């Protein structure tokens, strides 16, 4: 295993460990909460620094290595235990946002987003329990895709049990997302680009976000206004469920001195979730999923900002739990299980802004085809602004 050629070009600190597996031309980085045989799965935590190497590949990794198009070049850094939105990790390293180095890379799949934005990888694998693919994609100016819940086999991923988590994909163009989905989701079949009607979701966000999103939507043309009355309730319910599920997964480590305090606080809060609160959250899940389905009966895809604000400065991100509301427009679709994709936009102020598209459950390929259509039209208008891939000389 030759680890040096890729690690030495990792100038943004995306990788926790380098490798060279497979013979394909396209480079892949895998988040370090998925098992790669012979490598540690540390999950961004000093708690697991002495973990034994994984005996076998996660199902998604096996799919990648069985496809001749791909070559895995490393495992990506991440927010500790995939339980944070900033990507800041004092113990195991915080990747640098290539386009905006003074701002957070986003979490929890920080290294995956950075690897693609910085050109170290053509595609990266992340996980998305409450926005953890779409948020760092939005922060770093790349595409991030969260599939329908259950579409991609999570065997060999941590946490082992989750009713919210999905294995997702980062890339700089939709075609690469689709190619990777063919490897990790058997049955994913490419679709022709459709003519689409957008359902424009009414949300609250800062003007620095709403102005470029509104400009993009005006360019895309015909759409209908839709409301999701339980959107905020779905965010809260998602927090309740991830809290209880993370407590179940991490309570054995909560008193370990090496656990980061931001994660420890959130894990302990999850331990305080009552059965009644959990039942209420599950009721919201059903109600919100029904609302999303009803909205999608009126249009082809929903459109809304990925983040309600521009990514905060690292200097302002010290209180990680206080920044969890940054995920209030992405987390609800983990609760409902719908597929969603984030697309980076060009904004006049030069900061990262992203448009999120949401599709019908089980129609992941159709959503990707719609995203191809949208990107083509935004590119023609000069409004699509994917990261440049600064390390393409590697």
* Backbone dihedral angles phi then psi of residue 86, each to the nearest 5 degrees: -90, -30
Work out the angle between the directed axes of helices 275-296 and 231-250 (0-180°, nearest 10).
Answer: 130
Residue 387 lies in a domain: no
Closest CA to 282 of 327, 227, 244: 244
pLDDT at position 320 is 84
Look at strands 15-21 and 166-171 and give their pairing: unpaired
What distances in angstroms separate CA 158 from CA 31, 42, 89, one per listed residue? 10, 10, 18
Q: What pLDDT does 393 receive?
A: 32
User: Are 310 and 353 within 8 A, CB to CB?
Assistant: yes
Q: Tell me, yes or no, whether 223 lies in a domain.
A: yes
Nearest to 174 by CA among 368, 29, 376, 377: 368
Would the pLDDT of 216 be above 80?
Answer: yes
Instruction: Count the Cβ atoms, other than its own, within 10 Å of residue 336.
Output: 25
Question: Considering the domain boundaries, does residue 391 fall inside one?
Answer: no
Q: What is the DSSP letter of 218?
A: H
pLDDT at 391 over 60: no
d(CA 87, CA 205): 22
The token pair that represents 255 in the structure block: 């008193």
Among residues of the chain, what percentage have pLDDT more than 90?
93
CA distance 129 to 17: 23
Report the sign of the C-alpha dihedral through residues 125, 131, 136, 141, in that order. positive
How far apart are the C-alpha atoms of 164 and 270, rounded to whole Å? 15
> Is residue 390 a part of any domain in this protein?
no
Domain contains 128? yes
Query: Is the pLDDT assigned to residue 295 strictly greater than 90?
Result: yes
225: domain CATH number is 3.90.1300.10
Residue 274 lies in a domain: yes
Q: What is the mean pLDDT of residues 368-392?
A: 89
- In the prediction, which pLDDT does 8 show? 59
The stretch 359-384 carries a mean pLDDT of: 98
Is residue 132 part of the annotated active site? The answer reads yes
Give the torsion sign (CA, 234, 242, 266, 15).
negative
Q: What is the pLDDT of residues 34-83, one digit of tens each?
A: 999 999 999 999 999 999 999 999 999 999 999 999 999 999 999 999 99
On the question of pLDDT at 394 being above 90, the answer is no
Residue in 108, 109, 246, 354 annotated catalytic: 108
Whether residue 96 has pLDDT greater than 60: yes
CA 208 to chain centre: 22
Give the tens place of pLDDT for each residue, 161-213.
999 999 999 999 999 999 999 999 999 999 998 889 999 999 999 999 999 99
CA distances from 243 to 134, 212, 249, 303, 324 (A): 20, 33, 10, 28, 12
Question: Average pLDDT, stretch 258-264?
Answer: 97
CA distance 328 to 325: 5
Mean pLDDT of the chain: 96
Whether the pLDDT of residue 28 is over 90: the answer is: yes
Query: Which residue among the candidates 16, 26, 110, 132 is catalytic per the annotation?
Result: 132
Tens-digit pLDDT profile for residues 334-361 = 999 999 999 999 999 999 999 999 999 9
User: Which residues have CB under 8 Å from 237's CB, separation 6+?
Assistant: 280, 281, 282, 284, 285, 288, 335
Catalytic residue among 31, 75, 146, 215: 31
Return d(Cα 61, Cα 300) in angstroms, integer. Answer: 32
For residue 245, what are the domain limits?
A: 4-380
Q: Which of 211, 170, 168 is nearest to 309 (CA)?
A: 211
Strand partners, 74: 18, 29
Residue 63 located in a structural domain: yes
Structurally, the chain folds into a number of domains equal to: 1
Task: Identify the bridge partners of residue 268 per DSSP, sorted by sequence position.
Answer: none
In a domain, 253, yes or no: yes
DSSP single-letter state for residue 24: -
The pLDDT of residue 3 is above 60: no
Q: For the stretch 224-252, what's the b/e string if a residue is b when 16 or more beta carbons lie within 10 angstroms of its beta carbon?
A: eebebebbebbbbbbbbbbbbbbbebbee
Edge to edge, the sheet with strand 70-76 lists 15-21, 70-76, 26-31, 123-128, 166-171, 143-146, 340-345, 353-358, 301-305, 198-201, 223-226
pLDDT at 194: 83
């Amino acid at each position: 295993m030759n680890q040096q050629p890729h690690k030495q070009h990792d100038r943004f600190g995306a990788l926790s460990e380098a490798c060279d597996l497979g013979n394909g031309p396209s480079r892949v980085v895998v988040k370090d909460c998925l098992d790669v045989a012979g490598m540690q799965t540390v999950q961004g935590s000093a708690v697991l620094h002495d973990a034994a190497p994984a005996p076998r590949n996660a199902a998604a990794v096996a799919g990648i290595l069985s496809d001749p198009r791909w070559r895995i070049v490393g495992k990506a850094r991440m927010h500790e235990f995939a339980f944070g939105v900033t990507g800041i990790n004092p113990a195991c390293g915080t990747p640098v946002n290539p386009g905006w180095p003074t701002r957070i890379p986003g979490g929890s799949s920080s290294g995956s987003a950075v690897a693609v934005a910085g050109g170290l990888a053509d595609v990266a694998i992340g996980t998305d329990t409450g926005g953890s693919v779409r948020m760092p994609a939005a922060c770093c100016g790349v595409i991030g895709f969260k599939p329908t819940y259950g579409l991609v086999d999570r065997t060999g991923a941590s946490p082992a049990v989750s009713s919210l988590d999905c294995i997702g994909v980062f890339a700089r163009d939709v075609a690469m997302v689709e190619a990777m989905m063919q490897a990790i989701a058997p049955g994913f079949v490419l679709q022709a680009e459709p003519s689409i009607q957008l359902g424009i979701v009414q949300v609250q966000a800062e003007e620095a976000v709403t102005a470029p999103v509104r400009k993009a939507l005006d360019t895309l043309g015909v759409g209908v206004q839709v409301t999701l009355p339980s959107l905020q309730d779905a965010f809260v319910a998602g927090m309740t469920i991830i809290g209880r599920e993370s407590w179940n997964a991490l309570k054995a480590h909560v008193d370990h001195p090496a656990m980061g305090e931001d994660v420890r606080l959130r894990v302990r809060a999850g331990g305080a979730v009552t059965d009644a609160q959990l039942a209420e959250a599950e009721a919201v899940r059903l109600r919100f999923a029904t609302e999303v389905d009803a909205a999608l009966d009126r249009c082809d895809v929903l459109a809304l900002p990925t983040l309600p604000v521009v990514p905060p400065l690292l200097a302002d991100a010290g209180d990680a739990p206080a920044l969890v509301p940054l995920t209030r427009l992405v987390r609800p679709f983990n609760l409902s299980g719908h597929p969603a994709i984030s697309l980076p936009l060009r904004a006049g102020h030069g900061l990262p802004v992203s448009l999120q598209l949401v599709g019908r459950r089980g129609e992941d390929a159709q959503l990707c085809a719609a995203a191809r259509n949208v990107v083509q039209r935004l590119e023609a208008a000069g409004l699509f602004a994917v990261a440049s891939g600064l390390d393409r000389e590697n």
